[in-house]
Structure 1
Amino acid sequence: MNRSLKWFTVGLVSAWYASNIGVLLLNKYLLSNYGFKYPIFLTLCHMIACSLLSYAAIVWMKLVPLQIVKSRVQLLKIATLSLVFCASVVGGNVALRYLPVSFTQAVGATAPFFTAVFAYFLAAKREAWLTYATLIPVVAGVVIASGGEPSFYLFGFIMCLGATAASRAVLGNVKGAVAVVISILIFKNPISATGVMGYLLTIIGVVLYSTAKKRSK
């Protein structure tokens, strides 16, 4: 039973990686290589597809139980989370018009920084100083990667930062590293040694941040 559960979990994680990276690369191809100029409409298609597939999985296939909204407060929280997530996807798609996937994933790796900042100012949640110290290489890595990015575009960079600020989870950075390698192989966008060093520094910072948070708990 445990073995079956293990392989089921591996299958789910693999499917999540494949679908996320696949959508990311498809969006990049449509917005940059194919010349599609409507990232917000692309986001609308994304949201509609997610809604329909979720409805089918819940109502028809019954993969997960149907959850009922029990109060206005809960509805408000769900609506707020939905708007923030939508803004994140829109920002990410707009950024893909101007920046290579490799660079957007490097910026996306700074999600722990925004998580810590928002938790401090909005929820008054304070971490240990060691945890905050691990964020230094996260930010420094992106600064270095920005300086060494041949295709750097300021507006795309701002949109990517906004999308990252509206997103969260450290596990996604592993997916980001895989997406970087695949995107470079497919789109053959130019990269520099400085950019690679910056991205690696950011990933190291994320790993240290995750380790520090676990120890603080």
Structure 2
Amino acid sequence: MHLVEILTTYDALVPVVTGIIITVGPSFHLFGFIMCVGATAGRALKTVLQGILLSSEDEKMNSMNLLRYMAPMAVILLVPATLIMEREAFGLVATLAREDPSFIWILLCNSSMAYFVNLTNFLVLGNAKVAVAVVVSILVFRNPVTFMGMLGYGITVARVVLYGEAKKRSK
């Protein structure tokens, strides 16, 4: 890959970051920013590993097999984290399940939806799910949206699409 192509590809990220800064605006919080950077780095690592595993000729792994191996790992990582950070969570779940048995069905539905989100992420949607999540957040949950927030989000989404196209062309 030529240096000019690399610079053009990563140049597309500057407006993405600008859009995010506009979207966040005055609600910036340092701890939230650090957690966001950590989550992004973790997701990037997962995406890179996923790409390697799905495209490797030696592994011959498909999306369903990858998801089958990743789901137990997520449980192994998240259950201890929940026990440490939200000590009362399991007791609360047990209490809610005793009070309303349909709560277990709600949890199972939630788990199924999480599975299908991951499945669609592996198969088709990728980063498009973020845009869908924001639209659902606005339409279903009536989360307030400012003009600056919409402008920032619009810039971010448009530049992510352009970045993806620039990456494709540079290959």
Structure-1-length-normalised TM-score: 0.39
Higher relative contact order (CA 8 A, sep 6+): 2
Q: Which structure has greater helix proportion? A: 2
Structure-2-length-normalised TM-score: 0.46
